[in-house]
Amino acid sequence: MRICNQCKCEMIEDFDIKVEGGAYGIRLSKGNGIFAKRLEKPKVAICPKCGEVSLYIENLDVIMENE
Ligand SMILES: [Zn+2]
């Protein structure tokens, strides 16, 4: 469960990121060029009260293994 930083209420989780004009979404990576490591696709949580948007990663274990 995620709590909004602004109003401390419970946020709605598990939204997907879509970039307007394309269906590519956003992926986090580390490093540059062809050797960049691909990390987990971020998810989005939205506060239903104030509209605060929070990005988060579901599976942190995957990132630690990539270190
Ligand atoms: Zn809020």
- Residues bordering ligand 1, an ion, CB closer than 5 Å: 4, 6-7, 47, 49-50, 52
pTM (predicted TM-score): 0.63
3-class DSSP assignment, residue 32 = coil
Residue indicated by tokens 């939205």: 46
Q: What was the pLDDT predicted at 52?
A: 95
Give, for all 67 residues of the chain, the pLDDT tens digit.
899 999 999 999 998 877 777 656 666 667 766 555 666 678 899 999 999 999 888 777 766 665 5
Parallel/antiparallel/unpaired status of strands 29-30 and 37-38: antiparallel
| Token code pair at residue 48 | 């239903």
Gap from CA of 53 to ligand 1 centroid (Å): 9
Q: What was the pLDDT predicted at 66?
A: 55
| Residue 10 amino acid letter | E
Q: What was the pLDDT predicted at 12?
A: 96
What's the Rg (C-alpha) of the chain? 14
